[in-house]
Amino acid sequence: MDKIVINGGKKLEGEVSISGSKNAALPIIVGVLLSSGKTRLENIPHLKDIDTILEVIRYLGAKADFIDRHTLEIDGKNLDKEIAPYNLVKTMRASFLVIAPLLARLGKAKVSLPGGCAIGARPVNFHIKGLKQLGVDIEVEEGYVIAKTKGLRGAKIYLDFPSVGATENLIIAACLAKGETIIENAACEPEIEDLINFLSLMGAKIEGVGKNVIHIQGVNKLNPVNYKIIPDRIETGTFMIAAGITKGRIKINNAVPGHNEALEKKLLEVGMDISKGKDYFLVKGDGILKAVDIKTMPYPGFPTDIQAQMMALMTVTPGKSVVNETVFENRFMHVSELNRMGAKIEVNGHQAIVEGVPYLSGAPVLASDLRASGALILAGLVAKGRTEIKRVYHLDRGYENIEKKFSLLGAEIRREKDIDLF
């Protein structure tokens, strides 16, 4: 087990290059299984979650290899197993998406229910309801979803909530279904846009990219392609906030500013100086900053995946900030750890009230989930003294080389073996 050690107080200055998006890569890697033949995916980040999804698709019979540092070659030709086992799906819930290509290609699937995680129960009822409408018979037994179909057929599906995963699962399933599928109240995150662009390049007939109503006309076959994954907007946002919390100046390259509009507007309200070009942000945090209120919403609202990082900034920003988490039921696990560092945060159900304090103090803290780990790093960067963040396997799921990227910006941060097991 590793830990991250930070000696805080350094102003971050310089340039950073954003890695490919984990949450775009995962559904696209699954989408490859709709075709036979070699697909090449560029800009794939080296992350634990990517390793996990590759383990799952190899288990199902696909071939998947990195042909250079960030380019994957995947061949879905030999899809010969329809079971996605619990030990793999439980570590990473996006593995549940494999149910779609298994049904489309083999007409059957037995996929473990993903189970909950630190931030919530995270059921898959919207996925199951939509798949049933596409002509799938589904039983849930002993923690597995057992599904079979005589042939997927188009349907008109309304999602009770714009679920990212359910939207992705149903789009993938509908591509080879007979007839038209309409998904209403669909999620429209940039990662879904990337999935739709990828599937369309393969020959899928999909309209409504970036919208909440998606039309998919089923086709008989999809072809292997070469595709480049979009940059990671959550990593981009984490570095934007890092410039604010350390009162530094960071140029964030290989970004798509249009994917971070809600955060950009919030950071301008805080008082940060932000300029941007086609593929970069220039962010300065050396002005007078003031506390703002945050309410997380489905895209294009303020992203839930940036809530913890934004809260870290609010802990040392003068004034009171009300943080409303509307997407997940338990996404305040970082609060107790931030309070151990001297923050003043009170949680009341889905709401946290943050009272800005003059400074944080370094302390040993525990990472609880991926984005909470990002928040603890940001807090450690600004805290006086030494912060030790344990259980960084959470961090390694979704941030590529994060401590190296921060140290190149002037942070005193390093990874160490964690010898004490508690």
By annotation, the residues acting in catalysis are: 117
Angle among Cα 67, 71, 74 to the nearest 5 degrees reads: 75
Among 8, 165, 218, 285, binds ligand EPZ (CB under 6 A): 165
Bridge partners, residue 14, by sequence: 250
Look up tokens 């008989």; give the residue: 220
Task: Tell how many helices (H) and how many strands (E) occur in the chain.
Answer: 14, 24
Q: Are strands 249-253 and 13-17 parallel, antiparallel or unpaired?
A: parallel
353: left (phi over 0), alpha (psi -120 to 50) or beta: beta
Contact 37, 10 (CB under 8 A): no
The reply to whether 294 sits near ligand EPZ by the rule CB under 6 A is: no
235 binds ligand EPZ (CB under 6 A): no
User: Which stretch of DSSP H or E encloses residue 310?
Assistant: helix 307-315
Asked if 132 interacts with ligand EPZ (CB under 6 A), we say no
Return the number of the residue (149 or 368) whose C-beta is nearest ligand EPZ: 368
Structure tokens at 50: 């990517």
Nearer to ligand EPZ, 84 or 370 (CB): 370
Among 78, 125, 223, 275, binds ligand EPZ (CB under 6 A): 125
Phi, psi of 163 (to 5 degrees): -70, 125
Q: How far apart are CA 144 and CA 78, in angstroms?
A: 23
Stretch that binds ligand EPZ, among 8-16, 30-38, 164-172, 217-225 (CB under 6 A): 164-172
Largest CA distance in the chain: 64
**Interface with ligand EPZ, residue 161, by CB under 6 A:** yes
- Residue 190, token pair as written in the block: 């940039």
Q: Cβ 33 to ligand EPZ, closest distance in Å?
A: 16
Shortest Å, Cβ 310 to ligand EPZ: 14
**Least CB distance to ligand EPZ at residue 93 (A):** 6
Angle between helices 164-174 and 22-31 (to 10 degrees): 20
Distant-in-sequence, close-in-space partners of 265: CB < 8 Å, separation ≥ 6: none
Task: Return the number of the residue (53 or 343) whose C-beta is nearest ligand EPZ.
Answer: 53
Closest separation in Å from C-beta 121 to ligand EPZ:
6
A 10 A CB-CB count for 288 gives 8
Tokens of 168: 């992705």
Using CA of residue 34, residue 37, residue 21, residue 191, what is the dihedral sign? negative
Q: Closest distance between ligand EPZ and the C-beta of residue 111, in Å?
A: 13
166 near ligand EPZ (CB under 6 A): yes
Interface with ligand EPZ, residue 371, by CB under 6 A: yes
Site track for ligand EPZ across 10-29, x = CB under 6 A: -------------x--x---
Q: Which residue of 62, 64, 124, 196 would you call a contact of ligand EPZ, by CB under 6 A?
A: 124
- Please say which residue, 237 or 342, places its beta carbon nearer to ligand EPZ: 237
Options 33-41, 159-167, 236-244, 378-386: segment touching ligand EPZ (CB under 6 A) = 159-167
Looking at beta carbons only, is 122 or 249 nearer to ligand EPZ? 122
173 contributes a contact to ligand EPZ by CB under 6 A: no
**Which residue, 5 or 32, has its beta carbon nearer to ligand EPZ?**
32
Q: How far is the CB of 350 from ligand EPZ (least distance, A)?
A: 11
Strands 294-295 and 320-324: parallel
The dihedral formed by the CA atoms of 182, 187, 191 and 196, expressed in degrees to the nearest 10: 10
298 class by beta-carbon count within 10 Å (0-12 exposed, 13-18 middle, 19+ buried): buried
Among candidate residues 305, 325, 260, 302, the one with its CA nearest the CA of residue 398: 305
Per CB under 6 A, the segment of 162-170, 253-261, 266-274, 403-411 that binds ligand EPZ is 162-170
Residue range at the interface with ligand EPZ (CB under 6 A); choices 103-111, 116-124, 176-184, 255-263: 116-124
Q: Which of 43, 304, 368, 387 binds ligand EPZ (CB under 6 A)?
A: 304
Q: Which of 136, 185, 193, 124 is nearest to 156 (CA)?
A: 185
Options 305, 337, 400, 403; binder of ligand EPZ; rule CB under 6 A: 305
Query: Quick one: 11 or 122, whose CB is closer to ligand EPZ?
Result: 122
- Binding residues (CB under 6 A) for ligand EPZ: these are 23, 26, 93-94, 120, 122-127, 161, 163-166, 187, 191, 304-305, 327-328, 370-371, 398
